[in-house]
């Protein structure tokens, strides 16, 4: 397929902000993909080259792309940078400069195909060793050399992982429903189809697979397979014990809510163990201790278990808050030392796959019985979540108080009869936490400091998640970070991280890829027409980094609305 065809679709999508129009444009293009049978092309619609579960990074910084543009157009880096300063979007810079070059040289160029673009972009993360940078640039230059101006715009945005055409997962799901199921059908059927496609996506985390199976009416063929990450089930908040009973029913299971980080541990038929975070990052290498515990203490051929990794003090054996062990997720060196200094206990609370069978349709009560059977508990290595089954609010309150006293975050209340729903936040289980007024938000921009703080980014734009998966602005936060690294999360550490994610610059401001999630504490929430979420946090303060979370895990507008109403 000609790349120019896809670029017309991008342009049409960019030209409207209306969800229904975008869905119709997407559905039309999906028809083309279905006809060609090249389902992987759906990734390009998402501005990617791989499935969502695949965490391959293209590794193309602004600098590298600037060099690619300058090489392809024969201009100096400086000219490209100057143009970038004016326009603020490197895609449009490439479009303009490739356009000028074409006018001057009127070179014959080969037609660019979608397959060629996918092929070259897919090579980017595979390169290692000497000459990597040059070869990466080479693949982009090759594409730009045969690109029309408009194609250059989208090639550059794709390699920067910032397509800017506004296609979120919700829209893509709706377009699949529209193409594969009767769009004129009745509303209930449409709702059912939407749920089926969403559930399939949550299992597969791969729109190409979902689309192909939906076209063939075989969504049920999508199965879990250990080794391939799957989204975790999410938990809404309950207002209190009675509210929790109202949501999950009576009797219910109540468990400690441990203050660690979520890990899904997979063991495949060949015995290989893999550990994924809730943002589907593979962190196996960082946690050889967990691999050992699981190898020695979980008696099953294959499984996917849902767990919380909780830190404790190596000397006092007292459990520690997440913050104390968050470094273990990010640091890739001196792992043995970190294992000793920041030990972890693995708390298992669910299982969704066992010895070849998916258990997501199974009742939670039965899933818990199974983990009780196959996990050999060993304190400070691997345990099961502390649990009571109760229908008595008083008994639960006592258990809740005990959890808090022991330094845990609160309780989880779980319906005993509910299935597991990957990726969904539907209330089969809910969390009970004392009022703590903080939200996990993603950083989308920042501003350079002045005076003593020049050289550091000191103010950060934060966003929440809108109903269609889009990011919505919630204002700025500039307190909470430290001046020195020894004191905690510092300006200089944050600056280092954000500098790698810059998408555009203008004056003292930058916008960045939405990669870094922070917990932001606030005093209250106000309505605010200034920000696209419609809300602003008063007295916001960054509490901590959440390296285990991605932009899909941040607070939703719905949660913010319901807090604002309190």
State the nearest-atom distance from the C-beta of 345 to ligand AMP, in Å.
12
> Closest CB to ligand AMP among 75 and 404?
404
CA separation for the pair 36, 422 (Å, rounded): 31
Residue with Cβ nearer ligand AMP (223 or 401): 401
Kindly name the residue from 257, 267, 381, 421 that is annotated as catalytic.
257
* Least distance between ligand AMP and beta carbon 200 (Å): 22
Tell me how many degrees the CA angle 353-357-361 measures, rounded to the nearest 5: 75
How many CB atoms are closer than 10 A to CB 357?
Answer: 11
Is residue 379 among the annotated active site residues?
no
Using Cβ positions, the residue closest to ligand AMP within the complex turns out to be 262
CB of 130 to ligand AMP, least distance (A): 41
Q: Choose between 256 and 287: whose C-beta lies nearer to ligand AMP.
A: 256
Q: How far is the CB of 236 from ligand AMP (least distance, A)?
A: 8
DSSP 277-308: -TT--B-GGG-HHHHHHHHHHB--SSEEEEEE
Q: Give 398's contacts (C-beta < 8 A, 6+ positions apart).
A: none
Q: From the CB of 214, what's the least distance to ligand AMP, in Å? A: 29
Query: Own/partner pairs for 388-397, CB < 8 Å, 24+ apart?
Result: 388/253, 388/254, 389/251, 389/252, 389/253, 389/254, 389/416, 390/251, 390/252, 390/254, 391/245, 391/250, 391/251, 391/252, 393/241, 393/242, 393/245, 396/241, 396/244, 396/254, 397/241
Binding site for ligand AMP (CB under 6 A): 235, 255-258, 262, 308, 349, 385, 412, 431
| Radius of gyration (C-alpha) of the chain in whole angstroms | 25
Which residues lie across from 344 on neighbouring strands? 311
Partners of residue 439 on adjacent β-strands: 520
Q: Which is nearer to ligand AMP, 257 or 381 (CB)?
A: 257
Nearest Cα neighbor of 535 from 556, 509, 517, 549 is 556
Closest CB 523 distance from ligand AMP, rounded Å: 19
Nearer to ligand AMP (CB atom), residue 115 or residue 363: 363
Hey, is 419 helix, strand or coil? Answer: coil
- Looking at the Cβ atoms of 219 and 305, the one nearer to ligand AMP is 305
Please say which residue, 136 or 428, places its beta carbon nearer to ligand AMP.
428
Reduced 3-state DSSP string for 73-116: HCCCHHHHHHHHHHHCCHHHHHHHHHHHHHHHHCCCCCCCEHHH
Sign for the pseudo-dihedral over CA of 157, 159, 160, 163: positive
d(CA 528, CA 537): 9
Output the smallest distance, CB 251 to ligand AMP, in A. Answer: 17
Give me the residue label for tokens 């550091």: 456
Enumerate the active-site residues: 257
């Amino acid at each position: 397929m000609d790349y120019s065809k896809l670029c017309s679709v991008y342009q049409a999508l960019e030209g409207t902000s209306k969800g229904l129009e975008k869905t119709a444009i997407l559905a039309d293009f999906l028809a083309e993909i279905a006809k060609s049978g090249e389902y992987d092309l759906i990734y390009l619609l998402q501005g990617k080259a791989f499935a969502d579960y695949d965490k391959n990074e293209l590794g193309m910084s602004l600098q590298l792309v600037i060099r690619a543009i300058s090489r392809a157009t024969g201009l100096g880096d400086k000219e490209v940078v100057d143009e970038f300063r004016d326009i603020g979007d490197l895609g449009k810079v490439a479009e303009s400069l490739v356009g000028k070059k074409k006018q001057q040289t009127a070179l014959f160029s080969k037609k660019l195909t979608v397959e060629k673009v996918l092929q070259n972009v897919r090579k980017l993360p595979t390169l290692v060793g000497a000459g990597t940078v040059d070869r990466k640039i080479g693949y982009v230059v090759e594409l730009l050399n045969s690109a029309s101006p408009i194609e250059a715009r989208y090639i550059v945005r794709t390699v920067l992982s910032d397509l800017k055409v506004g296609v979120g997962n919700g829209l893509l799901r709706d377009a699949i429903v529209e193409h594969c199921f009767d769009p004129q059908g009745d509303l209930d059927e449409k709702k059912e189809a939407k749920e089926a496609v969403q559930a399939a996506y949550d299992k597969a985390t791969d729109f190409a697979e979902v689309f192909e199976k939906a076209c063939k009416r075989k969504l049920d063929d999508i199965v879990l397979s250990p080794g391939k990450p799957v989204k975790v089930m999410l938990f809404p908040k309950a207002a209190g014990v009675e509210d929790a009973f109202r949501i999950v029913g009576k009797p219910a299971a109540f468990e400690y809510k441990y203050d660690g980080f979520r890990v899904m541990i997979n063991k495949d038929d060949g015995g290989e163990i893999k550990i994924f975070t809730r943002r589907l990052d593979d962190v196996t290498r960082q946690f050889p201790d967990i691999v050992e515990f699981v190898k020695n203490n979980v008696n099953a051929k294959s499984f996917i278990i849902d767990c919380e990794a909780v830190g404790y003090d190596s000397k006092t054996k007292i459990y520690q808050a997440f913050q104390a062990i968050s470094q273990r997720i990010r640091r890739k060196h001196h792992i043995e030392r970190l294992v000793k200094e920041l030990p972890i206990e693995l708390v298992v609370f669910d299982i969704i796959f066992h010895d070849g069978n998916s258990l997501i349709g199974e009742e939670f009560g039965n899933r818990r019985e199974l983990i009780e059977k196959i996990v050999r508990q060993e304190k400070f290595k691997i345990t099961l979540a502390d649990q009571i089954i109760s229908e008595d609010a008083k008994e639960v309150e006592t258990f809740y108080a005990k959890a808090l006293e022991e330094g845990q975050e609160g309780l989880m209340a779980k319906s005993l009869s509910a299935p597991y729903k990957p990726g969904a936040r539907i209330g089969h289980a809910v969390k009970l936490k004392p009022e703590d007024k903080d939200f996990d938000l993603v950083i989308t921009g920042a501003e350079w400091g002045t005076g003593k703080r020049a050289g550091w980014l000191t103010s950060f734009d934060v966003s929440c998640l809108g109903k269609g998966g889009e990011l919505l602005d919630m204002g700025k936060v500039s307190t909470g970070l430290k001046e020195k690294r020894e004191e905690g999360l510092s300006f200089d550490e944050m600056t280092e991280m954000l500098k790698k994610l810059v998408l555009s610059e203008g004056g003292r401001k930058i916008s960045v890829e939405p990669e870094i999630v922070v917990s932001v504490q606030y005093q209250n929430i106000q309505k605010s027409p200034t920000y696209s979420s419609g809300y602003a946090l008063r007295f916001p303060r960054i509490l901590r980094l959440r390296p285990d979370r991605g932009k899909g895990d941040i607070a939703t507008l719905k949660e913010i609305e319901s807090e604002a109403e309190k």
